[in-house]
Chain A
């Protein structure tokens, strides 16, 4: 029995992957500004050290990493903490 469905599966996987690879760079740009905003409330982020990387793995799973350097952790005053 020839495994035609296996071939179709591989083809489909490849196509869905290609579709995904096209959008991540766009998404990365959008998402990283949000992430940067959130992180900058907790860290003093070094200028230009923030980078993001998204790529699609072979099985279509997105591998996403955000990287940055921080000069310090920002201490937020908790309500009632110093009273």
Chain B
């Protein structure tokens, strides 16, 4: 049985809420929650499927708990593993860097050999630029609690359904 790890900042405000909702959508005991604040290299390598989350801060930056962790993960060996990314952002407040964090994490984990899954359509979002874009799609799930919180539930449900397929 493949192990799934759900990584996010447990001390955050909004990201942690979304993380929990994703876990619920997966079903009980289907995914372990791992606090990014405490995670190390090994925490990542022990999973086959990873769901990782990050909001975007300060015009296109990862939150500092991610920033401080990434150097530790430099030689991470993720070949054969699948990584799905969810990101929080504000498309009205920061339309030039909407959910850039998804893109930053995708680039990082790709470089360590992982396959990025869980791409989603940009339909329904309005923004100007995003590092999370590739071939016209988001490299993960974009959640906008500031402007589209009413869509969050259905977005999560659809994404989790998609991941269950892609995570085999």
Binding between chains A and B: no
Q: Which A residues fall within an 8 A CB radius of B?
A: none
Question: B residues within 8 Å of A by Cβ?
Answer: none
